[in-house]
Amino acid sequence: MYQPTNPSPLEKEIILRLKYIYDPEIPVNIFELGLIYEININDDNDVHVLMTLTSPNCPVAESLPQQVKDEIERIPEVKKVTIELSFDPPWDSDNISDEAKLDLGML
């Protein structure tokens, strides 16, 4: 799970917005679910997100990355957004935050 050590205000805003996007199969937002591997912001406020899905055959494989892109593009400071999907490492339930595990009854 991606855990920024000293996030900028823009990165905090991106994370906040990602927490409004939910996986359709698991009632947890994609950030707490651990689907976000990296958020990189350059000096021009171009944003690159490395993310995964719960499986390569996920039914929202095409729509979820687009939803992430659309949501981040709504932030006025952001200039350009690129989304990269990766399955290395593959997602597993260890990626879920402790808070989400508690909500799901996994702790």
pTM: 0.92
Judged by DSSP in three states, 68 sits in helix
Q: Sketch out the chain's domains with CATH numbers.
A: 9-91 (3.30.300.130)
Interval 58-67: pLDDT, tens: 878 889 999 9
Confidence at 35, pLDDT banded by 50, 70, 90? very high
Strands (E), 1-94: 36-41, 46-51, 80-85
Instruction: Please check the confidence at residue 29 and state whether its pLDDT lies above 90.
Output: yes
- Packed helices 9-18 and 63-73: angle between N→C axes, nearest 10 degrees: 140
User: In this structure, are residues 44 and 79 in contact, taking their beta carbons and an 8 Å threshold?
Assistant: yes
Judged by DSSP in three states, 94 sits in helix
Tell me the average pLDDT across 4-30: 93
d(CA 94, CA 97): 8
